[in-house]
């Protein structure tokens, strides 16, 4: 289940939005935004801390800590409830639209009486927004795009939110007497970037104890349907969860049946029909005799149909069946193949933990190398200077020596890098003589997202052509469900990356998963190399690697395609790129 930290982080982000909507002090808005980020990334569960312990979290002062304690004790914060009461519910609903800020939402309500997404859509089509200050055709276009994003997301949630819930349910049901096997299936097992509902599968002789335990879970708020083989519930965060119980000897067939995308399953069932067979969650049966042929494992079912086992992340009907028939399925990258993380942050800029803590956590993960890449000076709010960056480099070199001495030949190497800002014209933060001192550079777009297509394309291509840029970070800049990707000619960018020896990042943060699986497939056809990175801003974020690897698998990548699976010597050769000397 979601930690108290995540719940309280969302609460304080809402508080910051409410302060902004009501015209409150911008400084207070930033205070609560920073507190939300710090609480969400803190390693300890805040529900276990008192006021003193809470104030030890970066950006959490005594007033904020007292509000956390109040919420944990009573389920609400009086100051937040007061602001909620001052703002019409319709305005709060409008703030859920990506690209529409809280102040604009309040203006729409006060000037035009708009308090719903449908009313806003009608007003845009009737061009009623254009008389308002700060609204014009481009704003209307952006808002409509945001409404489209909101509606397409529907009741879907981020991958990590669904994963936390599913893993908790699996753990609880696995403890029920009689459980032979228990796992999640469906789109979650395929590691799609958003999840509409969760499928849980149990193998057991008796279903009743599992159905009862399932409906009695503390976060279940509604029982939608209750049956002998299937029960459906809804949880407090609005997610629908289906539990199915199959006999132990049907485990493989059930897992296969409830994992694949609809198109993949149709293809598999068609293959069965052509062989005089019928596939269900209980097994593969002979149509004429009704005899069960195979059912115990997925491998058995696929093999009987003439296929090798197909990894869940490929089961989308995007060529995996044809590749299987030709015995050409890729040997997909796994999390254990990753030798290091090449994009991470510390509290020198917008991270939450000091360099020493981040490096220690990376070493505990068994990495061979690990890169610190704090922001450059052109991202002004981070207040980076040459002196601060050089001081960090000296400390990185010192820590690198200590880690090598402690671990010998197997000691983790610490690399010093930077996340550079790609300016509107494609330039990056420092001149080449300063960039030459870094072990690697990640370059990312952080502003001017609405440039024209040609300008955005040229901007990214110029960054690729910089001999000191090794990786393009979160290449499309998207935030899932909140901000669309930039409008650039990505095929031209992919070709530039392949030509210049610049890797494209697969950013593992569940907010981003950027590049997406579909873009990875396109980029791979250009011969691009990739880096699966966490962009970690706290120790906890390092664990997001699993989502980046899952996205890489969905893009059909092998370990050879990903530079941070390579040995250090090969990686360093790649990082030299086209640098002089």
552 and 493 within one domain: yes
**382-414 per-position pLDDT tens digit:** 789 999 999 999 999 999 998 887 766 678 999
Residue 440: closest CA among 577, 561, 348, 539: 577
Please give the average per-residue pLDDT across 132-152, as a whole number.
Answer: 79
The model's pTM is: 0.87
559 and 453 within one domain: yes
Whether residue 87 is predicted with pLDDT greater than 80 in this model: the reply is no
- Would strands 471-472 and 440-444 be described as parallel, antiparallel, or unpaired? parallel
Three-class DSSP category at 89? helix
Please give the average per-residue pLDDT across 221-231, as a whole number.
Answer: 93
Cβ partners under 8 Å of residue 38, min gap 6: 57, 58, 59, 60, 352
Residue 426: closest CA among 463, 455, 454: 463
Q: Which pLDDT belongs to residue 445? A: 97
Number of domains observed in the structure of the chain:
3
Query: Could you tell me the CATH number of the domain that includes residue 41?
Result: 1.10.150.110
Can you list the pairs that 311-315 forms with residues at least 24 positions away whose Cβ atoms lie under 8 Å? 311/553, 312/189, 312/190, 312/191, 312/259, 312/260, 313/190, 313/191, 313/550, 313/553, 313/554, 314/553, 314/554, 314/556, 315/190, 315/259, 315/260, 315/261, 315/264
Q: Which pLDDT belongs to residue 13? A: 86
Query: Could you tell me the CATH number of the domain that includes residue 212?
Result: 3.30.460.10
**335-353 per-position pLDDT tens digit:** 999 999 999 999 999 899 9
164 and 147 within one domain: no
Task: Please report which residue ranges of 326-385 form alpha helices under DSSP H.
Answer: 355-364
Q: Of 124, 153, 182, which closes a domain? A: 153
Q: Which pLDDT belongs to residue 134? A: 79
Q: How far apart are CA 83 and CA 91, in angstroms?
A: 12
Radius of gyration of the chain (CA): 26
Give a three-class secondary structure readout of 111-130.
Answer: HHCCCCHHHHHHHHHCCCHH
365 and 279 within one domain: no
Q: How far apart are CA 455 and CA 462, in angstroms?
A: 10
CB 238 within 8 A of CB 222: no
* Measured CA angle at 204 (ends 200, 208), to 5 deg: 80
Q: Is residue 330 part of a domain?
A: no
How far, CA to CA in Å, does 277 sit from each of 258, 263, 310, 321?
Answer: 18, 19, 20, 18
Q: Is residue 443 part of a domain?
A: yes
Residue 348: closest CA among 415, 288, 418, 246: 418
Q: Which pLDDT belongs to residue 407? A: 67
Q: Other C-beta atoms within 10 Å of 444: how many? A: 25
Q: Is residue 89 part of a domain?
A: yes
Q: Of 137, 153, 169, which closes a domain? A: 153
Q: How many residues does the chain have?
A: 581
Please give the average per-residue pLDDT across 110-118, as a whole number.
Answer: 82
Q: Is residue 85 part of a domain?
A: yes
CA quadruple 541, 542, 548, 549: dihedral, nearest 10: -150
CB 475 within 8 A of CB 514: yes
Where does the pLDDT of residue 106 fall: very low under 50, low under 70, confident under 90, or very high at 90 and above? confident
Where does the pLDDT of residue 260 fall: very low under 50, low under 70, confident under 90, or very high at 90 and above? very high
Structure tokens at 437: 């001192």
547 and 504 within one domain: yes
Q: What is the DSSP letter of 556?
A: T
CA quadruple 566, 568, 570, 575: dihedral, nearest 10: 100
Whether residue 226 is predicted with pLDDT greater than 90 in this model: the reply is yes
Where does the pLDDT of residue 2 fall: very low under 50, low under 70, confident under 90, or very high at 90 and above? low
Q: Name the helix (H) or strand (E) containing 15.
A: helix 4-21
Q: How far apart are CA 87 and CA 18, in angstroms?
A: 8
Q: How far apart are CA 277 and CA 269, in angstroms?
A: 9
Q: How far apart are CA 534 and CA 528, in angstroms?
A: 19
Query: Could you tell me the CATH number of the domain that includes residue 376?
Result: 3.20.20.140
Query: Helices 137-153 and 117-125: crossing angle, nearest 10°?
Result: 140
Q: Is residue 365 part of a domain?
A: yes
User: Residue 44's domain spans which residues?
Assistant: 4-153
Average model confidence (pLDDT) across the chain: 91
Q: Is residue 358 part of a domain?
A: yes
Q: Which pLDDT belongs to residue 378? A: 87
548 and 416 within one domain: yes
Please give the average per-residue pLDDT across 476-503, as a whole number.
Answer: 94
373 and 236 within one domain: no
Q: Is residue 137 part of a domain?
A: yes
CB 51 within 8 A of CB 66: yes
Q: How far apart are CA 497 and CA 469, in angstroms?
A: 10
Where does the pLDDT of residue 375 fall: very low under 50, low under 70, confident under 90, or very high at 90 and above? very high
Q: Of 325, 359, 376, which closes a domain? A: 325
184 and 304 within one domain: yes
Cβ partners under 8 Å of residue 545, min gap 6: 335, 338, 341, 508, 532, 534
556 and 482 within one domain: yes
Task: Tell me, rounded to whole angstroms, the distance of Cα 342 from its chain centroid.
Answer: 17
CB 530 within 8 A of CB 326: no
Q: Is residue 304 part of a domain?
A: yes
- Give the sheet arrangement for strand 283-286, strand by strand: 277-280, 283-286, 292-294
- Give the sheet arrangement for strand 413-421, strand by strand: 340-341, 369-375, 413-421, 440-444, 471-472, 503-507, 530-533
178 and 34 within one domain: no
352 and 243 within one domain: no
Give a three-class secondary structure readout of 285-311.
Answer: EECCCCCEEECCCHHHHHHHCCCCCCC
Q: What are phi and psi of 180, to 5 degrees?
A: -90, -45
235 and 100 within one domain: no
């Amino acid at each position: 289940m979601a930690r108290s930290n995540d719940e309280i982080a969302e609460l304080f982000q809402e508080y910051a939005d409410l302060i902004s909507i009501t015209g409150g002090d911008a400084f207070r808005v930033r205070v609560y935004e920073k507190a939300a980020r710090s609480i969400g990334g803190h390693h300890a569960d805040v529900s276990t801390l008192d006021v003193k312990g809470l104030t030890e979290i970066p950006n959490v002062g005594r007033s904020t800590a007292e509000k956390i304690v109040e919420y944990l004790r009573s389920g609400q914060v009086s100051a937040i409830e007061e602001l909620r009461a001052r703002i019409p519910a319709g305005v709060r609903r409008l703030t859920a639209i990506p690209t529409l800020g809280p102040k604009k939402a309040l203006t729409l309500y006060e000037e035009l009486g708009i308090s719903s997404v449908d009313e806003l859509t009608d007003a845009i089509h009737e061009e009623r927004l254009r008389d308002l200050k700060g609204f014009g055709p481009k704003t209307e276009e952006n808002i409509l795009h945001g409404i489209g994003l909101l509606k397409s997301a529907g009741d879907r949630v981020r991958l990590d939110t669904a994963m936390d819930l599913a893993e908790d349910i699996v753990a609880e049901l696995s403890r029920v007497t009689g459980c032979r096997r228990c796992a999640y299936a469906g789109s979650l097992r395929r590691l799609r970037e958003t999840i509409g509902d969760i499928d849980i599968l149990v193998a057991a002789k008796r279903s009743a104890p599992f159905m009862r335990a399932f409906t009695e879970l503390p976060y279940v708020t509604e029982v939608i349907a209750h049956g002998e083989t299937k029960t459906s519930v809804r949880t407090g965060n609005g997610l629908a969860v289906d539990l199915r119980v199959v006999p132990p000897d049907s485990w493989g067939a059930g897992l296969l049946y409830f994992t694949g995308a609809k198109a993949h399953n149709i293809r598999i069932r068609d293959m069965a029909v052509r062989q005089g067979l019928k596939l269900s969650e209980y097994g593969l049966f002979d149509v004429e005799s009704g005899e069960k042929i195979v059912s115990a494992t997925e491998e058995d079912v696929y093999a009987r149909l003439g296929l090798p086992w197909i990894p869940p992340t490929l089961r989308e009907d995007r060529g995996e069946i044809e590749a299987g028939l030709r015995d050409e399925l890729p040997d997909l990258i796994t999390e254990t193949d990753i030798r290091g993380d090449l994009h991470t942050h510390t509290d020198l800029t917008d991270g939450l933990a000091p360099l020493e803590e981040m490096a220690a956590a990376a070493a505990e993960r068994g990495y061979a190398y690990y890169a610190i890449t704090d922001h450059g000076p052109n991202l002004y709010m981070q207040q980076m200077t040459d002196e601060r960056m050089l001081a960090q480099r000296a400390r990185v070199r010192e820590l690198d020596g200590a880690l090598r001495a402690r671990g010998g030949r197997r000691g983790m190497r610490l690399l010093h890098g930077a996340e550079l800002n790609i300016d509107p014209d494609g330039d990056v933060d420092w001149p080449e003589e300063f960039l030459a001192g870094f072990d690697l550079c990640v370059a990312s777009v952080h502003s001017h997202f609405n440039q024209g297509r040609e300008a955005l394309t040229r901007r990214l291509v110029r960054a690729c052509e910089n001999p000191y840029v090794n990786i393009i970070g979160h290449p499309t800049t998207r935030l899932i469900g909140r901000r669309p990707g930039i409008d650039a000619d990505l095929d031209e960018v992919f070709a530039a990356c392949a030509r210049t020896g610049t890797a494209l990042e697969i950013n593992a943060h569940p907010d981003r998963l950027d590049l997406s699986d579909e873009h990875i497939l396109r980029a791979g056809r250009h011969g691009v190399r990739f880096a699966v990175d966490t962009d970690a801003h706290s120790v906890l974020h390092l664990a997001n690697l699993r989502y980046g690897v899952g996205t890489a698998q969905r893009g059909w990548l092998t370990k050879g395609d990903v530079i941070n699976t390579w040995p250090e010597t090969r990686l360093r050769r790649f990082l030299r790129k086209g640098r002089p000397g």
